[in-house]
Chains A and B, each alone.
Chain A
Amino acid sequence: MIKKIWDFLGDIRLSFWLLLAAVGLFFIGMLHSSFDFSYFRAMNEVRIQDWLARELPTRPGANWWLPPLLGALFFLGVNTVICTTNRVIALFRARTRTDYRFMISLFPSIIHALFITVMIGHAVTITAGTWIRIPIAEGAVLRIAPDLPPLSVDRIEDTYFPKGSRIEKRIMQTSVTLAGEDGAKMQLSYLDDIRYGGYRLHLDMVKEKVRFTHRDHHVKASEDGETCNRAEMYRSRERKRESSQKLFLLAIADPGLPVILTAFSLILIIMTWYFVEALRKRGNE
């Protein structure tokens, strides 16, 4: 009985159908998030279990696809683990010697194992991550967590694109100088996060005119017209920050991040190695 279940769960045909199920559900999610962009944007800063507990009963029509998607990905993970284990066992049983070729033959299984690791990393992120959004203004004191000393905002400096260009009134970079209690200074910019007490600090900006419906479930996202294009938020009339351009500090504690990035990097290396070897083998033949 156990062997039957094991074989069923590790069957490659099941992999195929689970992959297709996940494809379909991701596409359904894509459509929902296209029509309700800012509603689903808020989901990026909430743990999945909290989101489901809060949103599934209130807006089941928009969220129904999430549980089956998570289920399909879970079973895909189980399927991949079993399938990979079976293959590795078979390879070790059939091996005549342990050499370079044998190592290469293990690469697809290693890639599958790393894929599982990436999925676990994402699962950790969406279930255990913490996202805190705090408005920033010069002179403000930022309290990220009760156990962390506060940070004060010393200076906010915007750099615009070069004068004379067609985008001269658009912000190219923002640099925020933060000071700790001991007076130590830190520079925070877009694309250049800093680490602070277990959190990674990022910058984000919102223009008030485009309403950010972050926990406002009564306003449908389609009503506020927000799309993935945020270019207009960074345009000022006079190369000077406008009062409607609100800067935010995003403090993120993401325990899944190192797992995801490490596994992704290893997948890239091993996948490239494997296909280069495959090409070389074909060339020799």
Chain B
Amino acid sequence: MFTTGNHLVLYVAAGLFAASLALYLAKARAAGAVSFLAGFVLYSLYLAGRGWLAGTFLPNPLVEGPFLLPWCIGVIALLMAARRDDRWGIVLAPLLLFTAFAAAYSKGIIPPTPNKMTPWLVAFFVPEVFAHASFYCGAVFAALLLAGREPAETFHRFMVWGFVLFSVAQVTGAVWCYLGWGNTFQWGPRHMSSAALWLIFAAYLHLKYIPGWNVRRRAWFAIAAALVVLAVTGSNYLHEMNFPRIGG
């Protein structure tokens, strides 16, 4: 794979995303879309190249959070554009932010243990990271609503889909955990933080039925919840940066 370990591809993709956002904000939507598409294709190739970092193909490095997250946000932007939703460019802001994070992150892979050699790992990480992407996009739209730039309750839809995907991840994660470690839940930081995040968004969903929680207050809650996701996953990513890595 020609993109294996070739970080220039990642940096070019980040540059194209930056150009795309600038063009979108300058109302040059078509040029912005072309730049975004080119960046997305390059980013996808870079991500695929990570599969061969160990010298043999592994799906594990493809689904590593810091690298999968920008791709998931890119897919969300693509889906919005495909639905002819003009606001697809708004999603470019978190996309650019997390691509910059990926560019600065440790590029090597954490060698997999035998209980991580399973499709259940992919079935867990893909919906989980897509859920995070939805929460972040939702928070951006919530912030726009609070700034008076977004009339619709778009952020709520992102939160709902994020919750559904996060729930899917909890189920596939429970199955994987059982197969790999013998329990569906472990008293460890990863599982307890996942449970806490799931409960935060469950609380968010209940707000719609509680008197006094108007759309603005719910938008604030959505932003706060996304910031908690950012704090928890961000600290995990930073912690994992210190793990012994191979390749990259």
Give Cα A34–Cα B185 distance, bound, in whole angstroms.
16
Contact of A173 among B55, B117, B182, B195 (CB under 8 A): B117
Contact: B182 with A252, CB < 8 Å? yes
Give Cα A26–Cα B191 distance, bound, in whole angstroms.
9
A22 part of interface (Cβ distance < 8 Å):
yes
Chain B residue, CB-CB nearest to A200: B182
Bits for B159-202, please: 1 = Cβ < 8 Å to A, else 0.
01100100110110011001111111111111011011001101
Contact: B56 with A229, CB < 8 Å? no
- Quote the shortest CB–CB distance from B105 to chain A (angstroms): 16
Contact: A231 with B189, CB < 8 Å? no
Bits for A13-36, please: 1 = Cβ < 8 Å to B, else 0.
101100110110011011101100
- Quote the shortest CB–CB distance from B173 to chain A (angstroms): 10
Contact: A190 with B244, CB < 8 Å? no
Contact: A172 with B114, CB < 8 Å? yes
- Quote the shortest CB–CB distance from B136 to chain A (angstroms): 19
Contact: B189 with A166, CB < 8 Å? no
B118 part of interface (Cβ distance < 8 Å):
yes
Q: How many residues of B contact A (CB 8 A)?
A: 53
Contact: A23 with B200, CB < 8 Å? yes
Contact of B247 among A23, A166, A264 (CB under 8 A): A166
Contact: A33 with B187, CB < 8 Å? yes
A145 part of interface (Cβ distance < 8 Å):
no
Give Cα A37–Cα B191 distance, bound, in whole angstroms.
12
Give Cα A12–Cα B115 distance, bound, in whole angstroms.
40
Contact of A254 among B170, B174, B183 (CB under 8 A): B183
Give Cα A267–Cα B169 distance, bound, in whole angstroms.
12
Contact of A40 among B117, B164, B188 (CB under 8 A): B188
B203 part of interface (Cβ distance < 8 Å):
yes
Chain A residues with CB below 8 A from B183, complex form: 44, 125, 252, 254
A250 part of interface (Cβ distance < 8 Å):
yes
Contact: A261 with B203, CB < 8 Å? no
Among A1-9, A90-98, A177-185, A232-240, the stretch that binds chain B is A232-240
Among A136-144, A148-156, A157-165, A212-220, the stretch that binds chain B is A157-165
Give Cα A191–Cα B119 distance, bound, in whole angstroms.
11
A241 part of interface (Cβ distance < 8 Å):
no
B111 part of interface (Cβ distance < 8 Å):
yes
- Quote the shortest CB–CB distance from A179 to chain B (angstroms): 22
Chain B residues with CB below 8 A from A272, complex form: 164
Chain A residues with CB below 8 A from B2, complex form: none
Contact: A34 with B189, CB < 8 Å? yes
- Quote the shortest CB–CB distance from A202 to chain B (angstroms): 4
Chain A residues with CB below 8 A from B193, complex form: 26-27, 30
Chain A residue, CB-CB nearest to B197: A23
Contact of A191 among B179, B200, B207 (CB under 8 A): B179
Between B120, B164, B189, B210, the greatest number of chain A beta carbons within 10 A of the residue's beta carbon is seen for B189
B240 part of interface (Cβ distance < 8 Å):
yes
Contact of B54 among A33, A37, A166, A261 (CB under 8 A): A166
- Quote the shortest CB–CB distance from B196 to chain A (angstroms): 4
B27 part of interface (Cβ distance < 8 Å):
no
B243 part of interface (Cβ distance < 8 Å):
yes
- Quote the shortest CB–CB distance from B241 to chain A (angstroms): 11
Contact: A231 with B179, CB < 8 Å? no
Contact of A33 among B111, B117, B161, B189 (CB under 8 A): B189
Contact: A202 with B188, CB < 8 Å? no
- New A-B pairs, 7, CB < 8 Å, besides A27-B193, A231-B110: A12-B209, A26-B192, A33-B189, A165-B56, A167-B246, A193-B182, A234-B114
Q: Which residues of A contact B (CB under 8 A)?
A: 12-13, 15-16, 19-20, 22-23, 26-27, 29-31, 33-34, 37, 40-41, 43-44, 122, 125, 131, 161-162, 164-168, 170-174, 189-193, 200, 202-204, 227-235, 250, 252, 254, 257, 260-261, 264-265, 267-268, 271-272, 275
**12 pairs, A vs B, C-beta closer than 8 Å:** A13-B210, A16-B206, A16-B210, A20-B200, A30-B192, A33-B192, A37-B188, A125-B183, A125-B185, A231-B113, A264-B171, A267-B167
